[in-house]
């Protein structure tokens, strides 16, 4: 949702040429290459080239009701044919409802992408638990986490998709807020499908059940297993890698000498509270994608309309050259360098915090990179 394919082509050319004279950028050539390809793709989604709309995939599905379609007093666009075959219809640019439409679209796309990536992170925690043969983590972390996240924000994602498909005018803010405040009230015009109200009640109950499911069972089961192991009961059945403290992936592990139940319980409580609160804050954090896309689009529009087109309006070669130089400088150093760095840092934060905190614990072996020098020292 960031950039357009004009800027993406420039990034692509920079990724191919900068390595000859700038070693630092050459080291990040693959990041630049991928960002340029994704920028070109996002530019095709919005059908824009340097913030200028192009009808690349055919004619628009909309037309102006009158000659002043972008005027504040105009009734706006009217639809007269099938939807645009790929991406956003370019006719939205310059219309009275451009910002409300694109802001709503980008916000919902950010939520969908965020919920999908967080679900992927929880799924990766399942494979971690399988690798360590920890059925406790599967039953009392993976399952309730999937239930909690998708009962609330998975349901919101479903509502977004349904609203897009049927063209409803339902207020999703109202639906999600009153799902908690008044779950039994009639939805009225905000009802998107038959049986939505009882489904919301069931999902709300599942979300409430998932919280104690994450919090209570695991510490008590670990305490019971520790007691049985060192009292000699069912020893042969319980000695397995599933309950081996050396491979238990959490920091809340069993100890051969003693079992600190309060420490394990507090750790599990912190983990559960962090996930519940993080499900809300992490989903909101993905809205930064919406803000980045809006900022990039508006900056591109300002540089194009207020610099290049303004200078081109003068019948003076010098003014036109100055305008072209300012536009080229702003495009290269602000849109391609500063905006690219900003997008990279925000994407890095989303991967590190919102995505990796679902499965990464950082309690494995210390990473030791391969080095010929170390091999030589060991031989000596």
Contact 25, 18 (CB under 8 A): yes
| Partners of residue 63 on adjacent β-strands | 78
- Give residue 378's pLDDT: 63
Largest CA distance in the chain: 95
pLDDT at 243: 46
The closest alpha carbon to 338, from 6, 7, 5, 1, belongs to 7
Q: What are the residue ranges of helices labelled H in the chain?
A: 5-17, 23-27, 29-46, 98-131, 135-137, 143-149, 155-166, 172-181, 196-215, 217-230, 235-238, 261-285, 288-303, 310-312, 317-329, 339-349, 372-379
Residue 222: how many other CB atoms lie within 10 Å: 23
- Cβ partners under 8 Å of residue 91, min gap 6: 53, 60, 61, 62, 63, 77
Give the Å distances, CA to CA, from 297 to 3, 32, 277, 301. 7, 20, 32, 6
Contact between 9 and 45 under an 8 Å Cβ cutoff? The reply is no
Nearest CA among 148, 145, 354, 154 for reference residue 268: 145
Hey, what are 38's tokens?
Answer: 């994704």
Query: Given this model, what pLDDT does residue 3 score?
Result: 56
**Helix, strand, or coil here: 78?**
strand
Q: Residue 249's pLDDT is what? A: 46
The token pair at 26 is 């050459």
Sign of the alpha-carbon torsion through 89, 95, 97, 98: positive
What six digits make up the tokens of 187? 């939805």
pLDDT at 66: 64
Phi-psi sector, 155: left (phi>0), alpha (psi -120 to 50), beta:
alpha
Question: How do the pLDDT tens digits run along the chain, 380 residues long?
Answer: 555 666 665 655 555 554 455 677 777 778 888 878 888 888 888 888 777 788 888 777 777 666 656 554 445 567 777 778 888 888 777 777 778 888 888 899 999 999 999 999 999 999 999 998 999 999 999 999 999 999 999 999 999 999 988 888 888 988 999 899 888 888 888 889 898 999 999 999 999 999 999 999 999 999 888 888 776 544 444 444 444 544 444 444 444 457 788 899 999 999 999 999 999 999 999 999 988 888 888 888 888 888 888 888 888 888 889 988 988 888 888 887 888 788 889 989 999 999 999 998 877 777 778 877 777 766 66
Smallest CA-to-CA distance from 353 within 131, 118, 170 is with 118
pLDDT at 146: 96
Q: What backbone torsions phi and psi does residue 379 show, to the nearest 5 degrees?
A: -65, -35
What integer pLDDT is reported at residue 9 of this predicted model? Answer: 59
* Strand bridging mode 62-64 / 77-79: antiparallel
d(CA 221, CA 184): 37
Q: What is the dihedral of CA 347, 353, 355, 357, to 10 degrees?
A: 160
C-alpha 260 chain-centroid distance: 38
> Which of 293, 308, 374, 379 lies closest to 339 in space, CA to CA?
293
Q: Give the integer Cα–Cα distance in Å for 316 and 309.
A: 13
How much is the pLDDT for 232?
56
Which positions ≥6 away from 213 have C-beta within 8 Å? 140, 143, 144, 147
Map residue 192 onto helix, strand or coil.
coil
């Amino acid at each position: 949702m960031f950039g357009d394919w004009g800027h993406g082509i420039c990034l692509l050319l920079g990724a191919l040429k900068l390595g000859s004279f700038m070693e630092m950028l050459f080291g990040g050539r693959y990041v630049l290459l991928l960002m340029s390809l994704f920028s070109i793709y996002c530019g095709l989604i919005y059908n824009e080239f340097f913030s200028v709309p192009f009808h690349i995939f055919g004619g628009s599905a909309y037309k102006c009701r009158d000659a002043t379609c972008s005027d504040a007093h105009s009734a706006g666009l009217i639809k007269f044919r099938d939807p645009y075959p790929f991406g956003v219809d370019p006719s939205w640019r310059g219309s009275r409802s451009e910002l409300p439409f694109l802001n709503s679209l980008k916000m919902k796309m950010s939520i969908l992408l965020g919920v999908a990536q967080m679900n992927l992170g929880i799924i990766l925690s399942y494979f971690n638990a399988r690798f360590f043969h920890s059925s406790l983590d599967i039953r009392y972390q993976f399952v309730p986490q999937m239930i909690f996240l998708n009962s609330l924000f998975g349901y919101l994602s479903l509502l977004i998709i349904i609203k897009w498909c049927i063209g409803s005018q339902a207020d999703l803010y109202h639906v999600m807020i009153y799902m908690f405040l008044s779950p039994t009230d009639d939805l009225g015009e905000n009802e998107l499908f038959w049986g939505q109200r009882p489904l919301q009640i069931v999902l709300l109950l599942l979300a409430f059940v998932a919280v104690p499911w994450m919090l209570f069972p695991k510490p008590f089961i670990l305490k019971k297993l520790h007691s049985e192991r060192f009292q000699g009961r069912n020893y042969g059945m319980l000695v397995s890698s599933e309950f081996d403290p050396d491979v238990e992936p959490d920091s809340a592990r069993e100890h051969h000498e003693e079992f600190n139940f309060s420490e394990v319980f507090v750790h599990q409580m912190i983990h559960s509270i962090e996930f519940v609160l993080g499900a809300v804050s992490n989903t909101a954090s993905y809205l930064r994608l919406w803000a980045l896309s809006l900022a990039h689009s508006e900056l591109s529009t300002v540089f194009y309309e207020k610099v290049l087109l303004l200078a081109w309006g003068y019948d003076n070669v010098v003014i036109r050259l100055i305008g072209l130089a300012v536009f080229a400088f702003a495009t290269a150093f602000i849109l391609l360098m500063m905006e690219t760095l900003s997008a990279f840092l925000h994407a890095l934060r989303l991967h590190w915090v919102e995505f990796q905190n679902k499965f990464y614990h950082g309690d494995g072996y210390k990473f030791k990179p391969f080095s010929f020098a170390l091999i030589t020292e060991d031989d000596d």
